[in-house]
Amino acid sequence: MFKLQLYRPNLPLTQAPQSPPPAAGPDAPQPPIAPAAATAGASTPTPQRPRTGLAPVPKIRRPLLQPQSYREQFRNAFLTESNWIKGGRLLTTHASIGDSVVTSLVVNDDHIVIGMANSKIHVFDAASGHFRQSLLGHDLGVWALVLVSPRRADRSRTYDSPQRSSSDTGTSRRASFTGATPPTRSTPAFPPTRTASDDQVRYPRQTKRMRSSDVCGSAAGWGAKATLVVSGGCDRDVRVWNIATGECIHKLRGHSSTIRCLKVLDGRPIAVSGSRDFTLRVWDIDRGRMLRALEGHEQSVRCIEVAGNQVVSGSYDYTCRLWDIDTGECLQVFEGHYHQIYAVAFDGERVVSGSLDSTVRVWDAGSGECLAILQGHTSLVGQLQLSGDRLITGGSDGRVIVFDLTDNSCVRRLCAHDNSVTCLQFDDRFIVSGGNDGRVKLWDMQTGTLIRELTRPCEAVWRVCFRDDKCAILCQRNGKTVLEVIGFRPEDELPAPVPLSRTPDW
């Protein structure tokens, strides 16, 4: 009889010695546009920043693979989930020397990247939480980030659900193990075609329900050689960075005001940005050029979401719009809110919008019809996550509400926080919420009961993001900006703590 063997990383990870470094708001007035910006959409060559005196970026020695039986794999998965409920370990803590404001957080299996209001971008290792380097180049605050993996998108993961099922509530942590990429994204299931007239790749229209962009801000790559970071902010530039070298590959100009939101399509070198100049712009981040501007909104574009070859935008003009990314055509205008829109979700079939008018609206992407008006909040709804037929919303009233979109019913209402809900994420087992009351709470998805708080109370929680066995928390503690990375793998698999030799210059 043969025993089937699977493989996993040989933990713990080891880290190369590091040398110590030397000591060391989006509404702000906009500076005049430089003459170089006259050529809209052009990629401006960016000189590499000097590295004199900087410590070399340390490299992680990747482990060899060792066999692991199904029994061992099941055990590790069970213990990891148990640690979420009553275990876990704080791997690292990074505290600033001042009160720098965090604007964005993105996480994938390898990196944690933070955007700051002081124009800096900081990169950390996801396995250990150790600081890697800072990406310097933006002139003003960074307000939008996306991590792009070098791996190609797995086309077998297209989410096909012609019949809605209330049991489909998202990606299960039980089925994913350390080192495996969870199936949280959807990619085109049809081969692209290239037209000779405009040298653009066009994808057939999708008719299946698709997963929206990764909730942690990462995108599957198209085969590039390195992991990329795409950023935008108050200086109106979209920048593309090589995360390994820290080099700015492209500096893309075209917007005339702050870039507030940014997405990258899975499996394609296409980015979409939304700005306070009322427009969205589509970029080729491989060649470094602007492809087209999407015009139609009458106020600032506050939020966007992509699925397949379409993007939904929410604006301060009280409307949402559905666009074809490849042609620039506006396919639908969703009207009904009577105040600014702060959050959108999109799965290819349905558009969900959250507004300052305290309501959540569900729209049919094909017809533009309003399918439901979901009530329960008493103020701004700024947090949305849609997965399958489950929708979870978070508001400035401190409430977290779970809706079932098969019948648009309220499944449960949680009085989660004493102040605004600032961040929200869920899977089929847990809900994690953070608020301005300084608490990060873990809830049972099935019962709505509070399981525990994941960290000590602080002054305010800005961002929280989790992936399988890691949770990154950005908060303000004792007047300082703090990053905490918590691990939930079984104790015998956790890497041994290594003293930090480098910290970011916040």
Q: Note whether 241 and 249 are within 8 A (CB).
A: yes
Using alpha carbons only, what angle is made at residue 263 by residues 261 and 265, rounded to the nearest 5 degrees? 165
Give the burial string for 53-84 (b: 16+ CB within 10 Å, else e).
eeeebbeeeeeeeeebeeeeeeebbebbbebb
Token digits of residue 302: 């506050």
Q: What is the CATH number of domain 67-154+206-487?
A: 2.130.10.10
Q: Note whether 390 and 446 are within 8 A (CB).
A: no
Is residue 64 pLDDT above 90, yes or no?
Answer: no
Mark out the alpha helices in 206-349 (DSSP H runs).
none
Token digits of residue 260: 């507030």
What percent of the chain clears pLDDT 70, i.e. is strictly above it? Answer: 71
Q: Tokens 């040989």 correspond to what residue?
A: 10
Tell me if residue 85 falls in helix, strand or coil. helix
Hey, how many other C-beta atoms are within 10 angstroms of the C-beta on 214?
22
Q: Note whether 428 and 445 are within 8 A (CB).
A: yes
| Interval 380-402: pLDDT, tens | 999 999 999 999 999 999 999 99
Please return the burial class of 5, using the count of CB atoms within 10 Å of its CB with bins 0-12, 13-18 and 19+.
exposed
Question: At 195, is the pLDDT very low, low, confident or very high (cuts 50, 70, 90)?
Answer: very low
Q: Regarding predicted confidence, which is higher, 397 or 160?
A: 397
Rounded to whole angstroms, how far apart are CA atoms 185 and 165? 19
pTM of the model: 0.76
Question: At 233, is the pLDDT very low, low, confident or very high (cuts 50, 70, 90)?
Answer: very high
Using alpha carbons only, what angle is made at residue 62 by residues 3 and 88, rounded to the nearest 5 degrees? 80
